[in-house]
Amino acid sequence: MANDAVFDILVIGSGAAGLTLALRAADHARIGVISKGSIDAGSTAWAQGGIAAVMSKTDSYDAHVEDTLNSGAGLCRIEAVRHTVENGPKAIGWLIDQGVAFDVTEDGPYHLTQEGGHSQRRVVHAADATGKAVQTSLDEKVRAHPNITLFEHHMAVDLVQEAEGSPVRGAYIYDIETTRVLAFSAKFVALATGGASRVYLYTSNPDGATGDGIAMAWRAGCRVANMEFNQFHPTCLYHREARTYLISEAVRGEGGELILEDGERFLDAFDDRAELAPRDIVARAIDFEMKRLGADCVYLDISHQDADFIQEHFPNIYETCRENGIDITQQPIPVVPAAHYTCGGVITDLKGRTDVDGLYVIGESASTGLHGANRMASNSLLECFVFADSAATDILAKLDDQADPIIIPDWDESRVSDSDEEVVVSHNWDELRRTMWSYVGIVRTDKRLARAKRRIDLLAEEIQDYYGNFRITPDLLELRNLVTVSDLIVRSALARKESRGLHYTLDYPELADESVDTILQPE
Ligand SMILES: Cc1cc2nc3c(=O)[nH]c(=O)nc-3n(C[C@H](O)[C@H](O)[C@H](O)COP(=O)(O)OP(=O)(O)OC[C@H]3O[C@@H](n4cnc5c(N)ncnc54)[C@H](O)[C@@H]3O)c2cc1C
């Protein structure tokens, strides 16, 4: 029995949240950063639009707060919103110090764009690849820091506690190359594992967004909040061989029309603004038509515009579609809505602290109260930077008084064998994500949710049985977490007897008088 590694702080996840915490604390603590893929495999590197912060004289904290509260449909926590907004400029300043090259203008320092829900231009960006610019700069700093040890292709399996409900003292980490499970001991553990949008069949998120941190924290005794609020992007490329790729809403803004397979337009039947209706209305209309017709996708057609105009305005979309055999100057683009952002998560306070001592959760895995029932565009990256900084400050203040790391018992593999039927895992992955897509997606009913619950209960039982008997693999670990998160989403959705923000149910189409969080507590 010996620890494989010992740290002051073990950070699980290497996106915006995890790397910020690591760098903010690294001058004063020994830090281990774990990533189940390569360092840049999370959603951060995919972010296109930018980061919201009050950066111009015409803008104000009050305006940013008010816009965020409006998007959140009555469920934002005002202290969390203020904390995020008021620390926004400082977070951007820190990123600039790390070398992130945001777009600048001739007359003002930074170029700001305006996005849905924002009443002002306040989104700083690096062209249309902001996430990549942030991730690349932070990667370099992390790799260069002598106090940070990076473990890529290492996957956290579970948190370690000496007894149920007691402080978190480390984590079991699966080394994907050697297939050994390692014991990492630490004074503090921070989960920064991103969202859970891969519970759905179609998603804009990269492969690893399987809600691992949410499931691990739940198993360790943390409450979760508002898991029913999942944001769907209305138009992602639908192509059997391509990973899901966002088709920007600007295509509709420039005259793109949504049509069915027979060429008929349909959005004007749902909203007078047709193609220019807000994101959630467009997503709902597409979902309705796909379900009504049993169609695999609908189509977004901009081919009536001049070919030069299309190529000039949408060079990346043009190129990506062309690589997949679609010439958007000549033919419509097959699209589906796709799960994009997990608004709910593990409940934390303003310092990222959870219900369990020693455990912090930051970034998309957390429910800080910032997003409420609907995330406002470009607030999510800001939340990562602000809460990672707050968590680092809190941890450093307590570091000397925290109990020393413990010796963690070795991972016990004595009662498991190699799987004889890998197909069980792949089948259940597929079934789970289809079930979530069909019954727990954009438009819900109690009947659909109950149908999903029955299937998820059965899958959970089967997966738990499999987990108990066979040696673990990354796919099995992700599936186990996905089924936990799916269960949390369905239970939260069943508990909400109204339509609010991103949760829309045909059984309760109205907004309730009182706005109440959905909070689930582990038994
Ligand atoms: C296509 C796209 C566009 C977006 N555009 C914007 C935008 O313009 N502005 C904005 O504010 N937000 C945007 N978002 C949302 C934003 O990118 C994410 O919310 C944010 O990047 C989440 O950061 P994070 O650090 O919490 O998680 P991530 O960046 O997702 O990182 C999660 C990390 O955890 C690791 N991990 C997960 N599970 C484990 C495990 N079990 N063991 C070890 N490691 C693990 C992953 O490998 C990864 O390193 C976009 C998202 C997508 C998908």
The string of pLDDT tens digits covering residues 198-236 is 999 999 999 999 999 999 999 999 999 999 999 999 999
Q: 365 pLDDT exceeds 90? A: yes
Mean pLDDT of the region 319-348: 96
Q: 128 pLDDT exceeds 80? A: no
pTM of the shown model: 0.95
Cα-to-centroid distance, 84 and ligand 1 (Å): 18
Answer left, alpha or beta for residue 287, where phi above 0 means left and psi between -120 and 50 means alpha. alpha
DSSP, collapsed to helix, strand or coil, labels residue 361 as strand
Q: Pocket of ligand 1, candidates 380, 385, 386, 482: which has the most ligand atoms within 8 Å of its Cβ, to mutate?
A: 380
Q: Are 425 and 473 in contact (CB under 8 A)?
A: yes
Pocket of ligand 1 from Cβ distances under 6 Å: 12-18, 34-37, 41-44, 46-51, 130-131, 155-156, 192-194, 204-205, 208-209, 212, 246, 341, 363-364, 378, 380-381, 384
pLDDT at 428: 95
Catalytic residue from among 279, 353, 455, 496: 279
**What ranges in 399-514 are assigned the alpha helix state H?**
423-439, 446-469, 474-495
Distance CA 184, CA 199 (A): 28
Q: 432 pLDDT exceeds 90? A: yes
Specify the ligand 1 atom closest to the Cα of 206.
53
CA atoms within 13 A on the CB side of 282: 28
Cα-to-centroid distance, 380 and ligand 1 (Å): 9
Residue of the nearest CA to atom 41 in ligand 1? 156
With 0-12 / 13-18 / 19 or more C-beta atoms within 10 angstroms meaning exposed / middle / buried, residue 182 is buried
448 classed as catalytic: no
Alpha-carbon Rg for the chain, nearest whole angstrom, is 23
Q: 412 pLDDT exceeds 80? A: yes
Q: Are 74 and 373 in contact (CB under 8 A)?
A: yes
Distance CA 236, CA 244 (A): 6
Cα-to-centroid distance, 36 and ligand 1 (Å): 13
Structure tokens at 424: 């069980």
The string of pLDDT tens digits covering residues 234-255 is 999 998 777 778 888 878 888 8
Residue of the nearest CA to atom 21 in ligand 1? 44
Q: Whole-number mean pLDDT of the chain?
A: 95
The string of pLDDT tens digits covering residues 472-519 is 999 999 999 999 999 999 999 999 999 999 999 999 999 999 999 999
Cα-to-centroid distance, 93 and ligand 1 (Å): 21
pLDDT at 473: 95
